[in-house]
Amino acid sequence: MRIIALRGSDRCGKTTTLNIIYKRIVENGGNPMCKKTEGNPIYNDFSDIVNYEGLKVAFFTMGDYSNESTRVIKEYQALNVDVLILASNIKFKKPIKLIKNYEHQLVVKTIATPNSENNQLTANTSDVKTIFGLI
């Protein structure tokens, strides 16, 4: 399993960015298996596995919870996922230590400055392009 981790601080747009990637993959022929809401629904966190271009691509956006992140990495490994795309909070050590045991790419979340809706969309779009290039 290969891991693509979008790394950033609390509430910086990691989940929003991964939701955009998920939506685009599904719109481009990805076949979702069983999208599940994770945590409080107001935060739009989810998990799923999508069959996409011959790969099993898993998503997990609830990266602000260390124990959940480490649990899901092991779970998706057991499910023989090809690529896991997940959010990862920079304040936690356990998830990043586990991630580094796999083939991995760490993508640092682009932060919009100044912070405006338009600038945030630009930052998220930049990260989406980066992650798509890594899949």
Can you give the pLDDT at residue 115?
76
What global pTM score does this model have? Answer: 0.93
Enter the tokens of residue 31.
Answer: 């076949």
More confident residue, 42 or 128: 128
Residue 11's pLDDT band (cuts 50, 70, 90)? confident
pLDDT tens-digit series, residues 102-123: 999 999 999 877 777 778 878 8
Q: What's the confidence (pLDDT) of residue 114?
A: 77
Rounded CA separation 8/74 (Å): 21
- Residue pair 106/5 in contact (Cβ under 8 Å)? The answer is yes
What pLDDT score was predicted for residue 72?
95
Q: Which residue has the higher pLDDT, 29 or 11?
A: 29
Backbone φ and ψ of 50, nearest 5°? -120, 130
Q: What is the mean pLDDT of the chain?
A: 92
What mean pLDDT do residues 6-18 have? 91
Please tell me the total count of domains within the chain.
1
Q: What percentage of the chain has pLDDT greater than the value 70?
A: 100
pLDDT greater than 90 at residue 39:
no
Range of the domain at 80: 2-134
CB-based contacts of 124, cutoff 8 Å, min separation 6: 13, 16, 17, 20, 110
Note the pLDDT tens digit of each residue in 48-81: 999 999 999 999 999 988 999 999 999 999 999 9
Residue 34 sits in a domain whose CATH number is 3.40.50
